[in-house]
C-alpha cells in the first residue's frame, strides 16, 4: 500500500490504483502527458467570486486557459461567473457539492455530491462536466468507482501551492514554478495572494516555453 501525504493529512492509496498519467480507467490522474510541454492551473472554487473574475481577467490578458473545479453550492449562486468561465474559453469541472470528505462517503453519497453539482452547472451554463477533483484530495476506491460510473475522470495534482494555508504570494509563486515539468497540474484557490502571484507565474511559464492549457487538453 502506498502512503501519500495530501495537504496536511495522510491518504492511503491501494497499489492497484496507479497514481500516474495513463493508468487504468479507475485510477486517479496526477499529471498530464509528460511528452508535451503543457502545464495546467487548477482552481478549486467555493468562495471569493470577485477574485475568480479577476483571475479570469488575468488569464485573458496572457491569452491562456485554466480549469475551474467548482463546488455546487457556490455554483448555485454564481451563474453569471460560470457563464463567463465558459465564454472566455476556460474549463469548468466538478468539485462536489458541499466540500465533503469523499473518502468517508458511501458509493451513493459520492455519486450524489458529484451528480448534483453536475446538474446545477449544466442548468446554469449548459456544460456537462466530466472531470472531478475530490475536495482536499480525499478519495477512496468507492469514490473512484462512483466517479467513473458517472462518466468522470478523477483528477488530483502534481504541484500544490497550499495557498489556502500560506498567505504569501512569494510562496505561491515558488511552489507553482519550482522544478516545473511537462504535464504538471498545479493546484490553486481563488485567494488574494494567489491572484497577486498569478501574473508572475504565467510569465515564468511562458518565458520558459510552456503552454498553459486546460486539464482536459493536458491529459488528453
Judge contact between 212 and 205, C-beta under 8 A: yes
Residue 118 lies in a domain: yes
Q: What local confidence, expressed as pLDDT, does residue 26 receive?
A: 83
> Could you read off the pLDDT of 37-83 as tens digits, one per residue?
999 999 999 999 999 999 999 999 999 999 999 999 999 999 999 99
The length of the chain, given as a count of residues: 220
What rounded mean pLDDT belongs to the chain?
Answer: 90
CA distance 112 to 94: 12
Residue 8 lies in a domain: no
Residue 13 lies in a domain: no
E-strand spans in the chain? 2-6, 9-13, 38-45, 67-70, 91-94, 131-132, 153-154, 159-160, 185-188, 211-212
DSSP label at 137? G
Share of the chain above pLDDT 70, in %: 89
Residue 74: give the domain boundaries. 29-219
> Could you read off the pLDDT of 172-208 as tens digits, one per residue?
999 999 999 999 999 999 999 999 999 999 999 999 9
Share of the chain above pLDDT 90, in %: 88
Q: Which residue has the cell 491562456?
A: 64
41 pairs with which residues across the strands?
186
CA distance 159 to 109: 28
Q: Give the global pTM.
A: 0.88
- Angle, alpha carbons 103-26-159 (nearest 5°): 65
Count: domains in the chain = 1
Residue 7 lies in a domain: no
Residue 155 lies in a domain: yes
CATH number where 109 lies: 3.20.20.370
Kindly tell me the burial class for residue 91, based on how many C-beta atoms sit within 10 Å of its own C-beta (0-12, 13-18, 19 or more): buried
Residue 119 lies in a domain: yes
2, three cell numbers: 502506498
Residue 56 lies in a domain: yes
Side-chain half-sphere CA neighbours of 41 within 13 A: 32
> Could you read off the pLDDT of 148-179 as tens digits, one per residue?
999 999 999 999 999 999 999 999 999 999 99
Can you tell me the mean pLDDT for 7-24?
34
Quick check: helix, strand or coil at residue 154? strand
CA distance 172 to 153: 26
Q: What local confidence, expressed as pLDDT, does residue 25 receive?
A: 54
Residue 134 lies in a domain: yes
> Could you read off the pLDDT of 114-159 as tens digits, one per residue?
999 999 999 999 999 999 999 999 999 999 999 999 999 999 999 9
Amino acid at each position: 500500500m502506498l502512503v501519500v501525504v495530501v495537504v496536511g493529512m495522510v491518504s492511503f492509496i491501494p497499489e492497484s490504483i496507479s497514481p500516474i498519467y495513463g493508468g487504468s480507467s479507475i485510477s486517479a490522474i496526477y499529471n498530464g502527458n509528460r511528452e508535451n510541454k503543457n502545464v495546467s492551473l487548477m482552481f478549486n472554487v467555493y468562495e471569493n467570486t470577485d477574485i475568480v473574475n479577476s483571475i479570469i481577467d488575468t488569464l485573458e490578458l496572457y491569452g491562456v486557459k485554466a480549469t475551474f473545479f467548482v463546488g455546487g453550492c457556490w455554483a448555485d449562486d454564481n451563474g453569471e461567473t460560470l457563464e463567463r468561465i465558459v465564454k472566455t474559453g476556460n474549463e469548468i469541472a466538478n468539485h462536489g457539492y458541499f466540500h465533503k470528505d469523499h473518502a468517508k462517503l458511501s458509493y451513493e453519497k459520492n455519486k450524489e455530491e458529484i451528480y448534483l453539482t453536475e446538474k446545477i452547472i449544466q442548468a446554469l451554463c449548459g456544460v456537462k462536466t466530466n472531470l472531478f477533483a475530490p475536495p482536499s484530495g480525499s478519495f477512496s476506491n468507492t469514490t473512484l468507482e462512483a466517479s467513473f460510473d458517472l462518466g468522470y475522470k478523477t483528477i488530483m495534482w502534481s504541484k500544490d501551492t497550499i495557498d489556502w494555508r500560506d498567505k504569501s504570494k512569494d510562496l505561491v509563486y515558488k511552489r507553482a514554478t519550482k522544478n516545473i515539468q511537462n504535464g504538471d497540474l498545479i493546484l490553486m484557490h481563488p485567494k488574494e495572494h494567489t491572484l497577486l502571484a498569478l501574473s508572475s507565474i504565467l510569465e515564468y511559464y511562458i518565458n520558459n516555453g510552456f503552454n498553459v492549457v486546460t486539464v482536459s487538453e493536458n491529459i488528453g
